[in-house]
Chains A and B, each alone.
Chain A
Protein backbone atom coordinates (compact mmCIF):
# COMPACT_ATOMS: atom_id res chain seq x y z
CA UNK A 1 0.00 0.00 0.00
CA UNK A 2 3.08 2.24 -0.31
CA UNK A 3 2.67 3.37 3.30
CA UNK A 4 0.32 6.29 2.62
CA UNK A 5 -2.09 7.53 5.25
CA UNK A 6 -4.54 10.40 5.20
CA UNK A 7 -6.11 12.28 8.08
CA UNK A 8 -8.80 12.88 8.92
CA UNK A 9 -10.71 10.17 7.04
CA UNK A 10 -14.01 11.97 7.41
CA UNK A 11 -14.77 15.59 8.18
CA UNK A 12 -17.86 17.76 8.26
CA UNK A 13 -17.28 21.48 8.41
CA UNK A 14 -19.19 24.70 7.91
CA UNK A 15 -18.90 27.10 5.01
CA UNK A 16 -16.21 29.70 5.60
CA UNK A 17 -14.09 27.68 8.00
CA UNK A 18 -10.49 26.70 7.25
CA UNK A 19 -9.72 23.01 6.79
CA UNK A 20 -6.41 21.19 6.53
CA UNK A 21 -6.04 17.65 5.24
CA UNK A 22 -2.85 15.71 5.83
CA UNK A 23 -1.13 13.11 3.69
CA UNK A 24 1.70 11.13 5.23
CA UNK A 25 4.04 8.69 3.51
CA UNK A 26 6.75 6.51 5.00
CA UNK A 27 8.85 5.61 1.93
CA UNK A 28 10.58 8.88 1.05
CA UNK A 29 8.91 9.38 -2.33
CA UNK A 30 9.72 12.68 -3.97
CA UNK A 31 6.45 13.30 -5.82
CA UNK A 32 3.14 13.65 -3.98
CA UNK A 33 -0.28 14.63 -5.36
CA UNK A 34 -3.66 15.82 -4.12
CA UNK A 35 -6.76 14.92 -6.15
CA UNK A 36 -10.46 15.36 -5.69
CA UNK A 37 -13.01 12.82 -6.87
CA UNK A 38 -16.56 13.86 -7.73
CA UNK A 39 -19.43 12.02 -9.45
CA UNK A 40 -19.28 12.45 -13.21
CA UNK A 41 -15.69 13.58 -13.15
CA UNK A 42 -12.49 11.65 -13.21
CA UNK A 43 -9.95 12.28 -10.51
CA UNK A 44 -8.81 15.87 -10.88
CA UNK A 45 -5.46 17.20 -9.82
CA UNK A 46 -5.48 20.00 -7.26
CA UNK A 47 -1.77 20.46 -6.52
CA UNK A 48 1.33 18.36 -6.59
CA UNK A 49 4.77 18.49 -5.02
CA UNK A 50 8.12 17.45 -6.45
CA UNK A 51 10.14 17.97 -3.31
CA UNK A 52 10.29 19.81 0.00
CA UNK A 53 8.93 23.32 -0.52
CA UNK A 54 8.46 22.60 -4.27
CA UNK A 55 4.84 22.59 -5.38
CA UNK A 56 2.82 23.32 -8.50
CA UNK A 57 -0.82 23.85 -9.38
CA UNK A 58 -3.14 21.37 -11.03
CA UNK A 59 -6.29 21.94 -13.04
CA UNK A 60 -8.59 22.69 -10.05
CA UNK A 61 -6.30 24.60 -7.68
CA UNK A 62 -8.53 27.64 -7.02
CA UNK A 63 -9.48 27.82 -3.34
CA UNK A 64 -6.75 25.41 -2.26
CA UNK A 65 -3.20 25.80 -1.03
CA UNK A 66 -0.58 23.23 -0.15
CA UNK A 67 2.58 22.96 1.85
CA UNK A 68 5.40 20.46 2.10
CA UNK A 69 7.88 21.26 4.82
CA UNK A 70 9.22 17.72 5.06
CA UNK A 71 9.37 14.81 2.63
CA UNK A 72 6.84 12.64 4.41
CA UNK A 73 4.01 15.17 4.79
CA UNK A 74 1.93 17.00 2.16
CA UNK A 75 -0.80 19.26 3.52
CA UNK A 76 -3.85 20.51 1.64
CA UNK A 77 -5.58 23.60 3.02
CA UNK A 78 -8.95 25.03 2.17
CA UNK A 79 -8.61 28.59 3.45
CA UNK A 80 -12.35 29.20 3.52
CA UNK A 81 -14.35 26.10 2.72
CA UNK A 82 -17.28 26.30 0.30
CA UNK A 83 -20.01 23.78 -0.47
CA UNK A 84 -18.46 23.20 -3.91
CA UNK A 85 -15.45 21.73 -2.13
CA UNK A 86 -17.53 18.87 -0.74
CA UNK A 87 -15.72 15.90 -2.24
CA UNK A 88 -13.54 12.89 -1.61
CA UNK A 89 -9.88 13.86 -1.51
CA UNK A 90 -7.14 11.43 -2.41
CA UNK A 91 -3.44 11.78 -1.90
CA UNK A 92 -1.03 9.84 -4.10
CA UNK A 93 2.67 9.25 -4.50
CA UNK A 94 4.64 8.46 -7.64
CA UNK A 95 6.97 5.49 -7.66
CA UNK A 96 8.73 3.00 -9.85
CA UNK A 97 10.28 3.08 -13.30
CA UNK A 98 6.98 3.91 -14.99
CA UNK A 99 6.05 6.48 -12.33
CA UNK A 100 3.11 4.44 -11.11
CA UNK A 101 0.76 6.21 -8.74
CA UNK A 102 -0.26 4.75 -5.38
CA UNK A 103 -3.17 6.25 -3.52
CA UNK A 104 -4.02 6.88 0.08
CA UNK A 105 -7.38 5.74 1.51
CA UNK A 106 -9.10 9.06 0.88
CA UNK A 107 -10.76 11.76 3.00
CA UNK A 108 -14.47 12.42 2.69
CA UNK A 109 -15.09 16.13 3.28
CA UNK A 110 -18.56 17.61 3.63
CA UNK A 111 -18.99 21.38 3.72
CA UNK A 112 -22.42 22.43 5.02
Chain B
Protein backbone atom coordinates (compact mmCIF):
# COMPACT_ATOMS: atom_id res chain seq x y z
CA UNK B 1 0.00 0.00 0.00
CA UNK B 2 1.23 3.50 -0.79
CA UNK B 3 0.11 6.09 1.67
CA UNK B 4 1.94 8.78 -0.28
CA UNK B 5 1.99 9.15 -4.06
CA UNK B 6 4.15 11.62 -5.96
CA UNK B 7 3.92 12.76 -9.55
CA UNK B 8 5.65 12.87 -11.85
CA UNK B 9 8.27 10.24 -11.03
CA UNK B 10 10.76 11.86 -13.38
CA UNK B 11 10.89 15.38 -14.73
CA UNK B 12 13.25 17.11 -17.14
CA UNK B 13 13.08 20.88 -17.55
CA UNK B 14 14.98 23.64 -19.30
CA UNK B 15 16.74 26.18 -17.13
CA UNK B 16 14.35 28.98 -16.22
CA UNK B 17 11.18 26.91 -16.41
CA UNK B 18 8.51 26.86 -13.70
CA UNK B 19 8.30 23.40 -12.12
CA UNK B 20 5.53 21.72 -10.16
CA UNK B 21 5.81 18.46 -8.23
CA UNK B 22 2.68 16.95 -6.74
CA UNK B 23 2.06 14.86 -3.65
CA UNK B 24 -1.18 13.09 -2.70
CA UNK B 25 -1.74 11.11 0.45
CA UNK B 26 -4.40 8.80 1.83
CA UNK B 27 -3.94 8.92 5.61
CA UNK B 28 -4.92 11.49 8.17
CA UNK B 29 -1.98 13.73 8.77
CA UNK B 30 -0.86 16.50 11.05
CA UNK B 31 1.89 17.84 8.79
CA UNK B 32 3.63 17.34 5.46
CA UNK B 33 7.36 17.53 4.78
CA UNK B 34 9.19 18.30 1.54
CA UNK B 35 12.77 17.04 1.34
CA UNK B 36 15.57 17.28 -1.22
CA UNK B 37 18.23 14.69 -1.97
CA UNK B 38 21.08 15.35 -4.39
CA UNK B 39 22.66 12.35 -6.17
CA UNK B 40 24.78 10.41 -3.70
CA UNK B 41 23.94 12.97 -1.09
CA UNK B 42 22.14 13.37 2.14
CA UNK B 43 18.52 14.35 2.70
CA UNK B 44 17.80 18.00 3.38
CA UNK B 45 14.62 19.47 4.80
CA UNK B 46 12.96 22.08 2.58
CA UNK B 47 9.55 22.73 4.14
CA UNK B 48 7.33 21.42 6.88
CA UNK B 49 3.75 22.62 6.65
CA UNK B 50 0.41 21.89 8.21
CA UNK B 51 -1.72 24.36 6.23
CA UNK B 52 -1.60 27.03 3.55
CA UNK B 53 1.61 28.01 1.83
CA UNK B 54 5.28 28.56 2.56
CA UNK B 55 7.94 30.26 0.46
CA UNK B 56 11.70 30.14 0.65
CA UNK B 57 13.62 31.81 -2.14
CA UNK B 58 12.51 30.26 -5.43
CA UNK B 59 10.67 27.40 -3.72
CA UNK B 60 7.01 27.49 -2.80
CA UNK B 61 5.07 24.72 -1.07
CA UNK B 62 1.29 24.56 -0.72
CA UNK B 63 -1.01 22.12 0.99
CA UNK B 64 -4.76 21.48 0.79
CA UNK B 65 -5.71 19.35 3.79
CA UNK B 66 -9.29 18.72 2.59
CA UNK B 67 -8.10 17.42 -0.78
CA UNK B 68 -5.10 15.60 0.77
CA UNK B 69 -2.74 17.18 -1.71
CA UNK B 70 0.42 19.26 -1.69
CA UNK B 71 2.51 20.85 -4.40
CA UNK B 72 6.11 21.99 -4.53
CA UNK B 73 6.86 24.73 -7.04
CA UNK B 74 10.26 25.89 -8.24
CA UNK B 75 10.37 29.21 -10.04
CA UNK B 76 13.16 30.08 -12.50
CA UNK B 77 14.66 26.60 -12.26
CA UNK B 78 18.44 26.19 -12.31
CA UNK B 79 20.68 23.15 -12.95
CA UNK B 80 21.62 23.13 -9.26
CA UNK B 81 17.95 22.31 -8.51
CA UNK B 82 18.55 18.89 -10.09
CA UNK B 83 17.81 16.43 -7.30
CA UNK B 84 15.23 14.00 -6.01
CA UNK B 85 12.36 15.71 -4.19
CA UNK B 86 10.64 13.63 -1.53
CA UNK B 87 7.24 14.19 0.05
CA UNK B 88 6.59 12.78 3.52
CA UNK B 89 3.54 12.95 5.76
CA UNK B 90 3.43 12.82 9.53
CA UNK B 91 0.48 10.73 10.60
CA UNK B 92 -1.84 12.01 13.30
CA UNK B 93 -0.16 10.45 16.33
CA UNK B 94 3.03 12.24 15.32
CA UNK B 95 5.34 9.30 15.83
CA UNK B 96 5.74 8.05 12.30
CA UNK B 97 6.25 9.45 8.83
CA UNK B 98 5.30 7.92 5.48
CA UNK B 99 7.40 8.76 2.45
CA UNK B 100 6.75 9.02 -1.26
CA UNK B 101 9.19 7.39 -3.66
CA UNK B 102 10.44 10.75 -4.84
CA UNK B 103 10.44 12.85 -8.00
CA UNK B 104 13.73 12.94 -9.88
CA UNK B 105 14.24 16.41 -11.39
CA UNK B 106 16.85 17.23 -14.01
CA UNK B 107 17.26 20.85 -15.09
CA UNK B 108 19.15 21.27 -18.35
CA UNK B 109 21.20 24.44 -18.95
Query: Taking beta carbons and an 8 Å cutoff, which residues of A are in contact with B?
Result: 31, 33, 35, 40-45, 48, 50, 56, 58, 90, 96, 98-106
Contact = CB atoms under 8 A, between A and B. Distances in A.
A43 B90 contact: no
Given A98-B31, A100-B45, A104-B42, A42 B86 contact: yes
A44 B35 CA distance: 15
Contacts of A100: 33, 45, 48
A100 B61 CA distance: 15
A43 B96 contact: no
B95 A50 contact: yes
A50 B94 CA distance: 11
Interface of B: 4, 30-31, 33, 35, 42-45, 48-50, 86, 88, 90, 94-102
A98 B48 contact: yes
B50 to A, nearest CB: 6
6 contacts: A43-B86, A101-B45, A103-B35, A103-B45, A104-B42, A106-B42
Given A98-B48, A101-B88, A43 B42 contact: no
Nearest to A50: B95
Contacts of A48: 95-96
A105 B37 CA distance: 11
A44 B94 CA distance: 16
B96 A105 contact: no
Given A58-B96, A101-B33, 4 more contacts: A48-B95, A56-B95, A100-B45, A103-B45
A42 B100 contact: yes
B4 A42 contact: yes
Nearest to B47: A100
Given A42-B86, A106-B42, A99 B99 contact: no
A44 B99 contact: yes
A103 B42 contact: yes
Nearest to B4: A42
